Structure formats: structure tokens, C-alpha cells
């Protein structure tokens, strides 16, 4: 586990419709369904504000959620009857929960893969 992840002081809380997770100047905003328990979130849009002022986005899914969607689509005919899954800014994680997903984002920053995985928003610096 990355050092930042283990020693991070997370400031968390609701900011309108977003659940904000802040670590120093790094801000991660998650948009969960209002009735969903934060520890069980398995499909969520996220925005990340880096200390340099740039903004990034991802739609984060758990492996189980991708399987659930593909199974459903097999019955509805979507995505060639559930034979594929695609999302332009998709990130698939193993564990559910907003804090678990925030730790993945911090890990991507620490290991240098963040800029390849998340999508930069056009209005970023």
C-alpha cells in the first residue's frame, strides 16, 4: 500500500450532492446515489481536483458491478447482449465504497499512473 494512503489524513463530508474526500490540496468528489451507503458504492462518477489546478474525471465501477450490468444487458440486448462493457472514462476497482475508491485514486497518483487512467477535463489549467 502506498505511503500516502496509509498515512493520509482524510477530511470527508457532503458538499451538496457530492461526497468530498480531501487529502491536503487533493480533492476527490464522488456523486453517489443519495440513498446508497457510502461503504457500498459500486458505480459512481468522480471528479478529482489536483493541487496544480487541473481537474480529472472517472466513472468508477467494481468488478461485481460490471458483471451485474453485463448480465442485465444480456436480457435487454444492450452492448451486444451483454458481451462487452465500455466506458470512455471508466476505472474498474475490486472493492466497493467511496473511501476504498479514494485510496485507489491516491495509489494511482503515487505510482504515476493517474494521468493515464483518469480523463482530464477540458477546462483544466
Position 28 in a domain: yes
Structural domains counted in the chain: 1
Query: What are the tens digits of pLDDT across the range 33-78?
Result: 989 999 999 999 999 999 999 999 999 999 999 999 999 999 999 9
Position 26 in a domain: yes
Position 55 in a domain: yes
Position 43 in a domain: yes
Position 82 in a domain: no
Which 3 state secondary structure label does DSSP give 119?
Answer: strand
Position 17 in a domain: yes
Give the pLDDT of residue 33: 93
Position 79 in a domain: no
Confidence of residue 122 (pLDDT cuts 50, 70, 90): confident
Q: In degrees rounded to 5, what are phi and psi of residue 116? A: -85, -25
Burial of 8 (0-12, 13-18, 19+ CB in 10 A): middle
Say what the pTM is.
0.89
In sequence order, what DSSP letters do the residues of 11-51 get, joined into one string?
Answer: EEEEETTEEEEEETTEEEEEE--TTS-GGG--EEEEEEE-T
User: What range defines the domain where residue 57 resides?
Assistant: 3-62+90-120
Position 94 in a domain: yes
Amino acid at each position: 500500500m502506498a505511503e500516502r494512503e496509509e498515512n493520509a489524513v482524510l477530511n470527508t463530508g457532503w458538499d451538496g450532492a457530492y461526497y468530498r474526500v480531501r487529502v491536503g490540496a487533493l480533492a476527490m468528489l464522488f456523486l453517489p446515489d443519495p440513498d446508497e451507503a457510502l461503504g457500498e458504492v459500486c458505480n459512481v462518477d468522480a471528479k478529482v481536483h489536483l493541487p496544480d489546478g487541473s481537474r480529472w474525471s472517472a466513472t468508477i465501477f467494481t468488478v461485481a458491478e460490471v458483471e451485474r450490468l453485463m448480465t442485465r444487458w444480456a436480457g435487454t440486448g444492450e452492448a451486444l447482449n451483454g458481451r462487452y462493457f465500455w466506458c470512455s472514462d471508466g476505472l474498474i476497482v475490486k472493492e466497493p465504497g467511496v473511501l476504498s475508491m479514494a485510496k485507489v485514486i491516491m495509489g494511482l497518483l503515487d505510482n504515476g499512473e493517474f494521468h493515464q487512467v483518469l480523463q482530464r477535463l477540458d477546462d483544466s489549467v
